[in-house]
């Protein structure tokens, strides 16, 4: 299982700057014109995890394979995009299968970069994009309500259930509120899932601040955090321009540069980890001579589900797992010592994997 994020926002909010930084792209320059991104751009980034290198210290290996995150940068949305303004919304299909949305909002001043509406208002700017996504979802719901209505009329039970939940979702969107603010049962979520509704996805608002507000203490960031809280979303801040500079530096130079700004962690690392937290994800590891590798699963997943992350057949063929923790390895340094200390556990199908578990799976034929 990977993490896929769709990146949205108004034009000229620094979306492409952050995308280029997070995907380690070469071109991270800011453009002072609207719609510098004209097509969806997809990239992948390794998920930073210091534990991988530490595991490889104690278990020599040929290669280290981190988990990966997919990011899709889409062209900026403007008010009226759902009616064809700006670049329209035809490209939104590129992010419909994303697990979550990274919604970049401008919280910086710059005379060199024009604002789409002439002034910076983070909450209002965020709402413009959300309303356009809601309009796209409304169009999707209307088409599907029409599709299931005929079958519902003749008593098809699934169509009746679909029509009911689709109409409930449509009525909520017509109040100008995103679907994430409406509670759905697990059964209703299953019916909605094939529609890939964007306002039903978890959202992380990313306040793009200037280098004069690297702590994110400005009123603008506070306004965006308040908007996120009242619309059941998450929020963090980073300085896209600084992050773009960081990726061009050697490690020592980057550390010095970050220290000058009072930063201990890269904003991009915080962004990736915030995405994991938003989706309730966690990491377990496999380790051996050929590779040390990170695997991403949902919190609460069982050992067979974890095995299935390696290969889908492994879920059904799972017999048991040998498990120890990352902390066990740091303390005892090798698997023989872990086994001698009684900390190498045999776990069955009911075992719930924990973040930082290191596993060997026994799989049947």
pLDDT of residue 66: 95
Q: How far apart are CA 194 and CA 214, in angstroms?
A: 40
pLDDT of residue 34: 45
pLDDT of residue 91: 65
Question: From the CB of residue 99, how many other CB atoms can be counted at a distance below 10 Å?
Answer: 18
Q: With CA atoms as reference, report the closest residue to 362 among 306, 299, 281, 296.
A: 306
* Least confident window among 130-134, 245-249, 348-352: 245-249
> What whole-number percentage of the chain has pLDDT above 90?
61
Tell me the pLDDT tens digit for each residue of 41-92.
Answer: 888 888 889 999 999 999 999 999 999 888 988 877 766 545 554 444 666 7
Confidence of residue 1 (pLDDT cuts 50, 70, 90): low
Q: How far apart are CA 323 and CA 339, in angstroms?
A: 10
Q: Strand 291-298 vs strand 318-325: parallel, antiparallel, or unpaired?
A: unpaired
Residue with tokens 């979520």: 189
Query: Higher confidence at residue 205 or residue 80?
Result: 205
- Beta bridge pairs of residue 208: 106, 238
Is the pLDDT reported for residue 232 higher than 90? yes
pLDDT of residue 28: 41
pLDDT of residue 11: 87
pLDDT of residue 20: 87
* Least confident window among 215-229, 237-251, 257-271, 303-317: 257-271
pLDDT of residue 35: 43
* Mean pLDDT of all residues belonging to the chain: 88
Task: State phi, psi for 281 to the nearest 5 degrees.
Answer: -95, 160
Q: How far apart are CA 78 and CA 172, in angstroms?
A: 22
Question: From the CB of residue 188, how many other CB atoms can be counted at a distance below 10 Å?
Answer: 18
Q: With CA atoms as reference, report the closest residue to 13 among 105, 87, 80, 119.
A: 105
Tell me the pLDDT tens digit for each residue of 10-33.
Answer: 988 989 889 888 887 654 444 444
pLDDT of residue 86: 46
Tell me the pLDDT tens digit for each residue of 316-360.
Answer: 999 999 999 999 999 999 999 999 999 999 999 999 999 999 999
**How distant, in Å, are the alpha carbons of 149, 204, 249, 280, 310 from that of 277?**
38, 10, 28, 5, 22
> What whole-number percentage of the chain has pLDDT above 70?
90
Query: Higher confidence at residue 42 or residue 225?
Result: 225
Tell me the pLDDT tens digit for each residue of 160-182.
Answer: 999 999 999 999 999 999 999 99
pLDDT of residue 111: 63
Domains of the chain in sequence order = 3-278 (3.40.50.300), 300-363 (3.10.20.30)
Is the pLDDT reported for residue 124 higher than 70? yes
- SS3 per residue for the chain: CCEEEEEECCCCCCHHHHHHHHCCCCCCCCCCCCCCCCCCEEEEEECCCHHHHHHHHHCCCCEEECCEEEEEECCCCCCCHHHCCCCCCHHHHHHCCCCEEEEEEEECCCCCCCCCCCCCCHHHHHHHHHHHHHHHHHHHHHHHHHHHHHHHHCCCHHHHHHHHHHHHHHHHHCCCCCHHHCCCCHHHHHHHHHHCCHHHCCEEEEEEECCCCCCCCCHHHHHHHHHHHHCCCEEEEECHHHHHHHCCCCHHHHHHHHHHCCCCCCHHHHHHHHHHHHHCEEEEEEECCCEEEEEEEECCCEHHHHHHHHCCHHHHHEEEEEEEEHHHHHHHCCHHHHHHCCCCEEECCCCECCCCEEEEEEECC
CB 351 within 8 A of CB 302: yes
């Amino acid at each position: 299982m990977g993490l896929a994020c769709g990146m949205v926002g108004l034009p000229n909010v620094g979306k492409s700057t952050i995308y280029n930084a997070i995907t380690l792209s070469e071109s991270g320059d800011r453009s002072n014109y609207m719609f510098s991104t004209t097509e969806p751009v997809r990239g992948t980034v390794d998920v930073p995890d210091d534990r991988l290198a530490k595991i490889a210290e104690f278990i020599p290996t040929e290669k280290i394979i981190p988990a990966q995150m997919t990011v899709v940068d889409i062209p900026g949305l403007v008010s009226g995009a759902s009616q064809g303004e700006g670049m329209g919304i035809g490209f939104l299909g590129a992010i419909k299968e994303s697990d979550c949305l990274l919604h970049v909002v401008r919280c910086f001043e710059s005379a060199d970069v024009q604002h789409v509406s002439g002034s910076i208002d983070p909450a209002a700017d965020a709402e413009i994009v959300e309303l356009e996504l809601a309009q796209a979802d409304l169009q999707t719901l209307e088409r599907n309500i029409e599709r299931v209505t005929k079958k519902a009329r003749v008593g098809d039970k699934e169509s009746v259930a679909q029509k009911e939940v689709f109409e409930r979702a449509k009525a909520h969107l017509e109040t100008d509120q995103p679907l994430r603010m409406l509670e759905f049962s697990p059964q209703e979520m299953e019916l909605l899932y094939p529609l890939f509704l964007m306002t039903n996805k978890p959202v992380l608002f990313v306040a793009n601040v200037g280098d004069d507000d690297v702590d994110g203490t400005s009123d603008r960031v506070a306004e965006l955090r308040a908007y996120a809280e009242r619309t059941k979303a998450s929020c963090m801040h980073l300085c896209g321009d600084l992050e773009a500079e960081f990726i061009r530096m050697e490690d020592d130079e980057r550390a010095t540069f970050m220290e000058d700004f009072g930063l201990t962690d890269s904003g991009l690392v915080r962004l990736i980890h915030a995405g994991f937290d938003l989706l309730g994800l966690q990491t377990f590891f496999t380790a051996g001579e050929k590779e040390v590798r990170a695997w991403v699963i949902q919190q609460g997943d069982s050992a067979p589900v974890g095995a299935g992350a390696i290969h889908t057949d492994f879920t059904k063929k799972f017999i048991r797992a040998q498990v120890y923790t990352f902390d066990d390895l740091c303390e005892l340094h090798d698997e023989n010592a872990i086994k001698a200390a009684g900390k190498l556990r045999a776990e069955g199908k009911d075992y719930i994997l924990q973040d930082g578990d290191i596993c060997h799976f026994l799989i049947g034929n």
